[in-house]
Amino acid sequence: MSEQDDAKKLAGEASVEHIEDGMTIGLGSGSTVYWMIRKIGECVQDGLEVKGIPSSRQTKEWANKFGVPLTDFAHVQKLDIAIDGADEVDPQWNLIKGGGGALVREKIIAAAARKFVVIVDESKLVTRLGAFKLPVEILPFGWETTAGRIAELGGETVLRLVGDDVFVSDNGNYIVDCRFGGIDDPETLHQQLKQLTGVVETGLFTEMVDEVIAGYKDQAKPVSKD
Ligand SMILES: O=C[C@H](O)[C@H](O)[C@H](O)COP(=O)(O)O
Protein backbone atom coordinates (compact mmCIF):
# COMPACT_ATOMS: atom_id res chain seq x y z
CA MET A 1 0.00 0.00 0.00
CA SER A 2 1.16 3.57 -0.66
CA GLU A 3 1.76 5.99 2.22
CA GLN A 4 -1.45 7.77 1.19
CA ASP A 5 -3.40 4.51 1.45
CA ASP A 6 -1.88 3.88 4.89
CA ALA A 7 -3.03 7.35 5.93
CA LYS A 8 -6.56 6.75 4.63
CA LYS A 9 -6.72 3.44 6.47
CA LEU A 10 -5.56 5.01 9.74
CA ALA A 11 -8.09 7.87 9.48
CA GLY A 12 -10.93 5.55 8.50
CA GLU A 13 -10.25 3.11 11.31
CA ALA A 14 -9.75 5.86 13.91
CA SER A 15 -13.22 7.25 13.18
CA VAL A 16 -14.83 4.01 14.34
CA GLU A 17 -13.92 4.97 17.91
CA HIS A 18 -16.83 7.45 17.71
CA ILE A 19 -19.32 4.64 17.14
CA GLU A 20 -21.27 3.21 20.06
CA ASP A 21 -23.63 0.31 20.44
CA GLY A 22 -27.12 1.01 19.11
CA MET A 23 -26.12 3.89 16.85
CA THR A 24 -27.48 4.63 13.41
CA ILE A 25 -24.63 5.68 11.14
CA GLY A 26 -24.50 7.62 7.90
CA LEU A 27 -21.95 5.84 5.73
CA GLY A 28 -20.14 8.19 3.35
CA SER A 29 -18.40 7.23 0.13
CA GLY A 30 -14.91 6.84 -1.22
CA SER A 31 -11.63 5.08 -0.62
CA THR A 32 -11.12 6.43 2.93
CA VAL A 33 -14.64 5.40 3.93
CA TYR A 34 -13.86 1.89 2.66
CA TRP A 35 -11.55 1.37 5.65
CA MET A 36 -14.15 2.71 8.05
CA ILE A 37 -16.79 0.29 6.73
CA ARG A 38 -14.34 -2.62 6.89
CA LYS A 39 -13.55 -1.79 10.52
CA ILE A 40 -17.23 -1.43 11.46
CA GLY A 41 -17.77 -4.85 9.89
CA GLU A 42 -15.10 -6.30 12.20
CA CYS A 43 -16.76 -4.67 15.23
CA VAL A 44 -20.15 -6.08 14.16
CA GLN A 45 -18.56 -9.55 14.05
CA ASP A 46 -17.46 -8.90 17.64
CA GLY A 47 -21.01 -8.05 18.72
CA LEU A 48 -21.48 -4.31 17.99
CA GLU A 49 -25.09 -3.56 17.10
CA VAL A 50 -25.45 -0.69 14.64
CA LYS A 51 -27.31 0.15 11.46
CA GLY A 52 -26.02 2.23 8.58
CA ILE A 53 -27.51 4.23 5.72
CA PRO A 54 -25.22 4.14 2.68
CA SER A 55 -24.60 7.23 0.55
CA SER A 56 -23.82 5.36 -2.66
CA ARG A 57 -24.24 2.05 -4.42
CA GLN A 58 -20.55 1.34 -3.88
CA THR A 59 -20.87 1.95 -0.14
CA LYS A 60 -23.92 -0.33 -0.02
CA GLU A 61 -21.90 -3.07 -1.71
CA TRP A 62 -19.05 -2.68 0.77
CA ALA A 63 -21.46 -2.69 3.73
CA ASN A 64 -22.99 -5.91 2.46
CA LYS A 65 -19.54 -7.41 1.86
CA PHE A 66 -18.34 -6.62 5.39
CA GLY A 67 -21.61 -7.49 7.13
CA VAL A 68 -22.67 -4.00 8.24
CA PRO A 69 -26.48 -4.03 8.72
CA LEU A 70 -28.31 -1.34 6.74
CA THR A 71 -31.50 0.63 7.14
CA ASP A 72 -33.07 3.54 5.23
CA PHE A 73 -34.77 6.88 5.76
CA ALA A 74 -38.20 5.22 5.70
CA HIS A 75 -37.25 3.71 9.06
CA VAL A 76 -35.03 6.37 10.63
CA GLN A 77 -34.92 10.08 9.89
CA LYS A 78 -32.20 11.16 12.33
CA LEU A 79 -28.76 9.59 12.40
CA ASP A 80 -26.51 9.51 15.46
CA ILE A 81 -23.39 10.07 13.40
CA ALA A 82 -22.25 10.38 9.79
CA ILE A 83 -18.67 9.65 8.76
CA ASP A 84 -17.41 10.62 5.32
CA GLY A 85 -14.34 11.51 3.31
CA ALA A 86 -13.63 14.76 1.48
CA ASP A 87 -11.62 16.05 -1.46
CA GLU A 88 -10.51 19.24 0.31
CA VAL A 89 -10.83 20.55 3.87
CA ASP A 90 -10.01 24.18 4.68
CA PRO A 91 -8.94 25.54 8.10
CA GLN A 92 -12.58 26.44 8.94
CA TRP A 93 -13.63 22.88 8.08
CA ASN A 94 -15.42 23.86 4.89
CA LEU A 95 -15.27 20.99 2.41
CA ILE A 96 -15.24 20.20 -1.25
CA LYS A 97 -16.81 16.80 -1.82
CA GLY A 98 -18.10 14.82 -4.77
CA GLY A 99 -14.95 13.56 -6.44
CA GLY A 100 -16.66 10.18 -6.57
CA GLY A 101 -20.00 11.68 -7.60
CA ALA A 102 -21.90 10.89 -4.39
CA LEU A 103 -22.28 14.45 -3.08
CA VAL A 104 -26.09 14.73 -3.00
CA ARG A 105 -26.73 11.65 -0.92
CA GLU A 106 -23.70 12.44 1.20
CA LYS A 107 -25.08 15.89 1.99
CA ILE A 108 -28.55 14.53 2.81
CA ILE A 109 -26.94 12.05 5.19
CA ALA A 110 -24.64 14.64 6.80
CA ALA A 111 -27.59 17.01 7.29
CA ALA A 112 -29.56 14.24 9.02
CA ALA A 113 -26.74 13.41 11.45
CA ARG A 114 -26.31 14.75 14.99
CA LYS A 115 -22.56 14.54 14.50
CA PHE A 116 -20.61 14.71 11.23
CA VAL A 117 -17.06 13.38 11.25
CA VAL A 118 -14.77 13.85 8.24
CA ILE A 119 -11.90 11.46 7.53
CA VAL A 120 -9.09 12.41 5.16
CA ASP A 121 -5.46 11.75 4.48
CA GLU A 122 -3.24 14.77 5.09
CA SER A 123 -3.09 15.67 1.37
CA LYS A 124 -6.71 16.89 1.59
CA LEU A 125 -5.93 19.63 4.13
CA VAL A 126 -5.65 22.94 2.24
CA THR A 127 -5.36 26.59 3.21
CA ARG A 128 -8.04 27.60 0.69
CA LEU A 129 -10.62 25.53 -1.21
CA GLY A 130 -10.58 25.40 -4.98
CA ALA A 131 -7.53 23.61 -6.36
CA PHE A 132 -9.80 20.57 -6.60
CA LYS A 133 -12.52 21.30 -9.18
CA LEU A 134 -15.87 21.81 -7.48
CA PRO A 135 -18.38 19.08 -8.42
CA VAL A 136 -21.91 20.39 -9.03
CA GLU A 137 -24.73 17.94 -9.70
CA ILE A 138 -27.20 19.17 -12.32
CA LEU A 139 -30.27 17.81 -14.08
CA PRO A 140 -29.55 16.21 -17.47
CA PHE A 141 -32.34 18.22 -19.13
CA GLY A 142 -30.83 21.42 -20.43
CA TRP A 143 -27.46 20.70 -18.83
CA GLU A 144 -25.75 22.82 -21.46
CA THR A 145 -27.64 25.97 -20.42
CA THR A 146 -27.22 25.21 -16.71
CA ALA A 147 -23.48 24.75 -17.21
CA GLY A 148 -23.43 28.04 -19.13
CA ARG A 149 -25.01 29.91 -16.22
CA ILE A 150 -22.54 28.34 -13.81
CA ALA A 151 -19.78 29.62 -16.08
CA GLU A 152 -21.28 33.13 -15.86
CA LEU A 153 -20.55 32.99 -12.10
CA GLY A 154 -16.90 32.72 -13.01
CA GLY A 155 -16.42 28.97 -13.11
CA GLU A 156 -14.84 27.08 -15.97
CA THR A 157 -17.09 24.00 -16.26
CA VAL A 158 -16.40 20.54 -17.64
CA LEU A 159 -19.07 17.87 -17.94
CA ARG A 160 -17.85 14.76 -16.11
CA LEU A 161 -17.25 11.77 -18.36
CA VAL A 162 -16.38 8.13 -17.79
CA GLY A 163 -14.37 7.19 -20.83
CA ASP A 164 -16.45 8.45 -23.75
CA ASP A 165 -19.73 8.34 -21.81
CA VAL A 166 -21.33 10.99 -19.65
CA PHE A 167 -20.99 10.14 -15.94
CA VAL A 168 -24.44 9.58 -14.43
CA SER A 169 -24.84 9.89 -10.65
CA ASP A 170 -26.76 7.39 -8.49
CA ASN A 171 -29.62 9.92 -8.77
CA GLY A 172 -29.62 9.82 -12.59
CA ASN A 173 -28.06 13.29 -12.90
CA TYR A 174 -24.95 14.77 -14.49
CA ILE A 175 -21.99 16.39 -12.74
CA VAL A 176 -20.04 19.39 -13.93
CA ASP A 177 -16.60 19.92 -12.42
CA CYS A 178 -16.01 23.65 -12.00
CA ARG A 179 -12.80 25.61 -11.64
CA PHE A 180 -13.45 28.83 -9.75
CA GLY A 181 -9.84 29.39 -8.71
CA GLY A 182 -9.37 29.90 -4.98
CA ILE A 183 -12.75 30.00 -3.20
CA ASP A 184 -12.67 32.78 -0.59
CA ASP A 185 -16.32 32.60 0.45
CA PRO A 186 -17.61 29.01 0.07
CA GLU A 187 -21.05 29.70 1.56
CA THR A 188 -21.80 32.58 -0.84
CA LEU A 189 -20.65 30.58 -3.85
CA HIS A 190 -22.77 27.64 -2.72
CA GLN A 191 -25.84 29.90 -2.40
CA GLN A 192 -25.25 31.46 -5.83
CA LEU A 193 -25.00 28.05 -7.45
CA LYS A 194 -28.03 26.64 -5.62
CA GLN A 195 -30.18 29.48 -6.93
CA LEU A 196 -29.63 28.40 -10.52
CA THR A 197 -32.51 26.34 -11.90
CA GLY A 198 -31.18 22.95 -12.92
CA VAL A 199 -28.60 22.79 -10.14
CA VAL A 200 -29.42 19.94 -7.77
CA GLU A 201 -26.61 20.38 -5.23
CA THR A 202 -23.04 21.56 -4.91
CA GLY A 203 -20.05 19.79 -3.43
CA LEU A 204 -19.44 22.68 -1.02
CA PHE A 205 -20.20 21.57 2.54
CA THR A 206 -20.14 24.57 4.89
CA GLU A 207 -20.98 24.78 8.61
CA MET A 208 -21.69 21.06 8.77
CA VAL A 209 -18.60 19.42 10.21
CA ASP A 210 -18.15 18.52 13.90
CA GLU A 211 -14.76 16.83 13.72
CA VAL A 212 -12.00 16.20 11.20
CA ILE A 213 -9.62 13.25 11.54
CA ALA A 214 -6.53 13.36 9.36
CA GLY A 215 -4.43 10.33 8.57
CA TYR A 216 -0.65 10.53 8.23
CA LYS A 217 1.66 7.68 7.24
CA ASP A 218 1.92 6.32 10.78
CA GLN A 219 -0.91 7.89 12.80
CA ALA A 220 -4.33 9.54 12.69
CA LYS A 221 -5.16 12.63 14.72
CA PRO A 222 -7.90 15.22 15.08
CA VAL A 223 -7.49 18.46 13.11
CA SER A 224 -8.15 21.69 14.98
CA LYS A 225 -10.39 24.41 13.53
CA ASP A 226 -9.20 27.98 12.94
O1 LIG B 1 -18.27 11.64 -4.00
C2 LIG B 1 -17.31 11.25 -3.31
C3 LIG B 1 -17.05 11.68 -1.95
O4 LIG B 1 -17.33 13.02 -1.70
C5 LIG B 1 -15.75 11.21 -1.33
O6 LIG B 1 -15.96 11.20 0.04
C7 LIG B 1 -14.57 12.08 -1.66
O8 LIG B 1 -14.41 12.14 -3.06
C9 LIG B 1 -13.27 11.57 -1.01
O10 LIG B 1 -12.95 10.31 -1.50
P11 LIG B 1 -11.61 9.56 -1.14
O12 LIG B 1 -11.68 9.19 0.30
O13 LIG B 1 -11.62 8.35 -2.06
O14 LIG B 1 -10.47 10.47 -1.47
pLDDT digits (tens, 9 = 90+) for 105-148: 999 999 999 999 999 999 999 999 999 999 999 999 999 999 99
Q: What's the pLDDT score for residue 35?
A: 98
Task: Extract the residue ranges of the chain whose pLDDT is less than 50.
Answer: none
Alpha carbon distance 74, 90 (integer Å)? 34
Q: How far apart are CA 28 and CA 106, in angstroms?
A: 6
Q: DSSP string spanning 137-157?
A: EE-STTHHHHHHHHHHTT-EE
Centre of ligand 1 to C-alpha 20, Å, is 24
Dist CA 218 CA 225 (whole Å): 22
- Residue 55 assigned as binding residue: no
Best residue for ligand 1 mutational test, from 29, 133, 209 (most atoms within 8 Å of Cβ): 29
pLDDT on residue 27: 98
Give the domains, in start order, of the chain with CATH numbers: 3-125+206-218 (3.40.50.1360), 134-203 (3.30.70.260)
Q: According to the model, what pLDDT value does residue 1 have?
A: 87
Residue 32 CB–ligand 1 contact under 6 Å: yes
**pTM across the whole model:** 0.97
**Rounded to 5, what percent of the chain is helix, strand, coil?**
30, 25, 40
Query: Residue 29, annotated ligand binder?
Result: yes
Amino acid at 224: S
Is 106 designated active site? yes
Q: What is the pLDDT of residues 66-88, one digit of tens each?
A: 999 999 999 999 999 999 999 99
Q: Write down the pLDDT at residue 120.
A: 98
Rounded Cα gap, residues 59 and 37, in angstroms: 8
What ipTM describes this predicted complex?
Answer: 0.98
